[in-house]
Amino acid sequence: MEAKKWLREAAKYLLHGTLFAIVTDVFAIFWAFIFLFLAIIGSLLGIILGFVLLFVFMGFANSIVTGLLWFPVRKGFWIYLAQGFLLGIAIVVIELLPLLLFVSELTALDLTGRILLQIVLFILYAFIDGYLGKAIGGIWKEARVRAALGVSRLRPVPEFVPETKNPDGLRCPRCNGVRLVVETDRSAYCIDCRRGIHPSTWRATTS
Ligand SMILES: [Zn+2]
């Protein structure tokens, strides 16, 4: 991949992750209120419902951002839920678990170190979120787009037509056509019949 195209892709992943973070932060405010309410009314069921809602929000946020930057994503509650669930698992495994491994080193950092770490992590995680978001959103890529792409790929390839090579003006014994490819041994191919002509068949038709 050329450098300019690579840079553009990288910038789009960064933008994807950043937009995803902004949209999920907005949803997180709503979600925190709903989650608190659900947790109060019924502890376990409320918490499960709260997580379902969180995944739906995440999937919805990723669908919006993927649609803006890459391709349209199919809509629907179950699609958002599945998308958010996969994203949530991937983010926990790739971004949160490694942090937990270094928790003692990280808490030992001074203020400058913490600020720097926050900046580095924000950029790094924006890339990762962008990459994951596009890959996971791609599972539910809008069918119309796929169909359109499929049609253009399946369009028949123009048929190969050989160039006429018939200096003696021979005629095809079957169709009497002159669009022939005659070889030096006088074997030939008729472009119109799409069939070969054996050298022994000439005598009957040529004058
Ligand atoms: Zn012919």
Return the pLDDT at 27. 86
State the distance from the centre of ligand 1 to the C-alpha of 194, rounded, in angstroms. 7
99 C-alpha to center of ligand 1: Å?
Answer: 76
Instruction: For 54-111, write each residue's pLDDT tens digit.
Output: 899 999 999 999 999 999 999 999 999 999 999 999 999 998 898 888 888 888 888 8
pLDDT tens figures, 120-178: 998 999 999 999 999 999 999 987 655 555 555 555 556 678 889 999 889 999 899 99
Separation of 174 CA from ligand 1 center, angstroms?
A: 5
The whole-model pTM stands at: 0.62
**Average confidence (pLDDT) over 176-185:** 91
Which residue stretches of the chain are H helix? 3-41, 43-69, 77-91, 97-101, 103-107, 111-137, 143-154, 202-205
Q: How many A from CA of 157 to the centre of ligand 1?
A: 23
Residues 172-191 have a mean pLDDT of: 91
Q: Which domains does the chain have, with CATH numbers?
A: 3-154 (no CATH), 162-207 (2.20.25)
Characterize the bridge pairing of strands 195-197 and 188-190: antiparallel
3-state secondary structure of 108: coil
Q: How far is the CA of 155 from the centre of ligand 1 (A)?
A: 28
